[in-house]
Structure 1
Amino acid sequence: MKTMSARDAKNHFGEFLDAMQREPVLITKNNRPVGMMVSMAEVENSLLADLFMQQDPSYTDWVNSKVSKTMQSLDAGEMRTAPLDEVRARIYARLAEQNKA
């Protein structure tokens, strides 16, 4: 995966767009990850695509419930953390598994 600073992505936007067509590009600011850009081709048929699709009202209720429970856990100090590399590996594994189907 390619990594670019936010400044480089801004100053070399064409190169940034070309790079993200080939592979995901991790964007950093002050040497910390702040976002990721992936091509639409990579997003198709993935969990990410579902985020952009119009959902029925029950989905909104489900999301609101999950957010509420998460906020309660954070307020109670029950937050779990994991290293970025571990989280990234889990996301890629989940996407790869879903894309097999």
Structure 2
Amino acid sequence: MAAGDAKNRFGMLLDTAQREPVTIEKHGRAVAVMLSAEDYDALEAMKLEALRAKVERGLADADAGRVTDASTVFAELDAMIDRAED
């Protein structure tokens, strides 16, 4: 839906978003998506669950001694930057 249409037909936009996500475009480029509060809550719950799983994996790695010293990571990043600049 074009941004102008979204503005002019906001009631319809709200109704449609209750059934399915609506992409809003400006100058032909997607700039926003409107979705129902229920869908938003479900999306946030999935993101939180994924984050929890990553934290649990990280803690398990740390408990098992699978860790990398921060100075090693920074050295690797510096090397990558140097290669990219060449």
Give the alignment's TM-score, normalised by structure 2: 0.49
Greater helix share, structure number: 2
| Structure number with larger C-alpha Rg | 2
